[in-house]
Structure 1
Amino acid sequence: MTDSIHLPAFFVKQKFAMTTNRYEIREAQPDGVEGRVMAVAQQKRMAFKEEVTFYADESKSRAVFSFKARQRVDLNAGYDVRDEHGTQLGFFRKDFGKSLLRSTFHLEGPGYEGTGRERSQAVAIVRRIADLPFLSIHFDFTAPDGRTLMQVERQFKLRDRYTVTVPEQAIDFRVAAAVAVGLDALMQR
């Protein structure tokens, strides 16, 4: 059994790479500044199943967790989040039907489940009409009882940068990081 890791706030920054999506995940200090590197992620290209691997650092010598699609091609794609030993930590999937007008994802793991949607319907519609890279995209994940599970907020930057807050302590940091990177990589931003 894997011990859960809770991190109440962290940052995800897309790193420049010509042929792959790369991300750096850093903890957020109490004063809001970037702290230590928690993981470095890289999306596999040309894979039969969508997969993103998270490494301990830039050397990429140790994979610490990952998420991978359950099926090859699926409009309602589901992704398993697993630790470095292959133990499942959580699951998320895109809801294709609901995402036509407003991107929607479902999230579940031990002790929680919820739905995440783009906060602004207007921004979601504008994003579908015009590719405006400066639009700030915000996702709110809530439990069926209305509690906020996590929030992912994209800042106005040249490269994608997200602030992730996770008030729900049951959500493992690795699941939250996988979802945050997945929102960017899977929406092909």
Structure 2
Amino acid sequence: MEHSASIEKFSVTQKITMMVNRYEVRSVDPSGNPGQLMALAQQKRAAFKEEVRFFADESRQTVLFSFKARQRLDLGATYDVLDAQGNPIGSFRKNFGASLLRSTWQLDAPGVQAVGSERSQGVAIARRVWEIVPFLDAIPAPFLFHFDFRDPSGQLVLTSERRASLRDRYDVTVPGGRLDWRVAAAMAVALDALQSR
């Protein structure tokens, strides 16, 4: 899959396995149904230095891109998005001060700076209550949380909307294709994989 900046819509679906979290990044048809596999992401659980690689297909022989934490076990870590050759093409980090009430992320890529936060303050608070109630924290949260990323002028750069399904599925939109789809896909996977950190 070429890394055209003109890709405006795709989906990300989580597949849970014993040792790793896997995510499929797929194109979508005009009706929003998943189509061609664009990338397959894999995240090792309990890694000391967070890294998620995106492969071309199920064989996992060809790395298309990745994201990796700059520091080990740092709640405020910056994650670099790297192309297949290891060159940086973007970065993101969680803003922990702003995230106390509503998860907030800073996203940077060539020509794009954006801040993303949960769309609904009510859902954000309900999620936090769910996570601290002892008997509820073992049950997957039923909330559909959506993120909107906007540049300093208020223009929408990226949205990630969680669908109601048994597996986590996100509809990702990059209005105008301003953001490299690889950076958008890395951010969308991170919103799921790193959300509770």
* Interval of TM-score (by shorter of Structure 1 and Structure 2): over 0.9
Question: Match of 2:113?
Answer: 113
Residue 129 of structure 1 aligns to a residue in which SS? Answer: helix
Question: Match of 2:166?
Answer: 158
CA RMSD of superposed structures (Å) = 1.7
Residue 175 of structure 2 aligns to a residue in which SS? Answer: coil
Question: Match of 1:79?
Answer: 79
More displaced 10-residue stretch of structure 1: 17-26 or 130-139: 130-139
Summarize the alignment of residues 32-47 of structure 1 with structure 2, pairs less than 5 Å apart.
32-47=32-47
**Normalised TM-score (structure 1):** 0.94
Question: Match of 2:179?
Answer: 171
Q: What code does the residue aligned with 1:103 have?
A: S
Q: What code does the residue aligned with 1:34 have?
A: P
Residue 130 of structure 1 aligns to a residue in which SS? Answer: helix
Tell me, yes or no, if structure 1 residue 148 matches structure 2 residue 156.
yes
Residue 20 of structure 2 aligns to a residue in which SS? Answer: coil
Query: How far off is 1:162 after superposition?
Result: 0.3
Distance 2:159 2:144 in 1: 13
Query: How far off is 1:133 after superposition?
Result: 2.2
Summarize the alignment of residues 131-146 of structure 1 with structure 2, pairs less than 5 Å apart.
131=131, 133-146=141-154
Which segments of 5 or more consecutive residues in structure 2 lack a partner in the other structure?
A: 132-139
Query: How far off is 1:116 after superposition?
Result: 0.3
Which segments of 5 or more consecutive residues in structure 1 lack a partner in the other structure?
A: none
Query: How far off is 1:45 after superposition?
Result: 3.0
Summarize the alignment of residues 10-25 of structure 1 with structure 2, pairs less than 5 Å apart.
10-25=10-25
Question: Match of 1:97?
Answer: 97
Among all aligned residue pairs of Structure 1 and Structure 2, give the percentage whose two residues are the same amino acid: 55
Question: Match of 1:64?
Answer: 64
More displaced 10-residue stretch of structure 1: 28-37 or 176-185: 28-37
Query: How far off is 1:29 after superposition?
Result: 1.7
Distance 1:33 1:23 in 2: 16
**Normalised TM-score (structure 2):** 0.90
Question: Match of 2:135?
Answer: none
Residue 21 of structure 1 aligns to a residue in which SS? Answer: strand
Residue 123 of structure 1 aligns to a residue in which SS? Answer: helix
Provide the aligned length of Structure 1 versus Structure 2. Answer: 188
Q: Is the 8 A contact 2:106 2:115 kept in 1?
A: yes
Q: Is the 8 A contact 1:26 1:37 kept in 2?
A: yes
Q: Is the 8 A contact 1:26 1:36 kept in 2?
A: yes
Distance 1:81 1:6 in 2: 18
